[in-house]
Structure 1
């Protein structure tokens, strides 16, 4: 059976893009805790109502409730999943292993990339809101500056793609990722891949990990 995958990496390192390809190619279930929280609330289940009351009070959903949510939505005995966005710190890593994964064959994949390269990549990103096209002024520039190739609409530079915001997000990430990596190293299931290459090259490395 395919290993469960935990994708780890800074914002903009390419995890989301690669997760979609893995789902399409290998049939993985994509577990995003944010999506699960919204879906559980929509079900109007007992757990969903619990989550709703926590969020309506303006509080973050606690780790044990997230684990309860994962157990309610994951059947690890028969399916393989990609965990994206959880765990975010060392304590969550241990809790995920102890309460959900429980020794299941798992690979934690760290999308390693030079942070300055990453900042350059994100700050040069431009979006076309209507067509959904994404451009990069360095690696995938539009044919006409500031315009979408598909729709002709004006491209936007999102506030959270601006340098000051990006550097802050990277600083937060750097403070929390080391204990996570150390934990998965201690379990012997951490794999690091070079996330600075092309999307196809990175996917090729992921295919090797899945098939190993």
Structure 2
């Protein structure tokens, strides 16, 4: 059981560590110190529910319906382009932030976090379909999934709270320009790859 849990954790980390809009948003909120706990909780709970869905076999549905994958792919690409444009706009108007400055309301942060998490087609293909398939290939499917869930929680907690160590950078407009520009470029590349995927 333990080896299945470790396999699940490693599989989860291999998928989640890649830079994407969700990780970029968690990092940005951590740097700005705005509703970090809320963002971490939503990302971790959503990931755990999606891993659970994959274990329960819903990943087979995603795999069996090619048109659903296409809808997710094009919707996700369009969303990522919008997200990249928002990042470039933020970079253009970058100002230094101090804890509490320019704080957004919890409901706006919640809506953005849910959108970034659930409108990303990769989350359904990786977290639901791939981790679900790997769980059923493991010796103990539930141990594999619990290991994957634990890894997800550890990742988001570490990313969100670890960003606080870089908080002094948040006071520099130049640092925010770099952060937002890099996020915009990465997300735009992801959108292009998604649009060109077959």
Q: TM-score range by the shorter chain?
A: under 0.3
When normalised by structure 1's length, the TM-score is: 0.26
Higher helix share: 2
TM (norm. structure 2) is 0.27
Q: Which has the higher contact order (CA 8 A, sep 6+)?
A: 2
The structure whose Rg is larger is 1
Considering fraction of residues, name the structure with more strand: 1
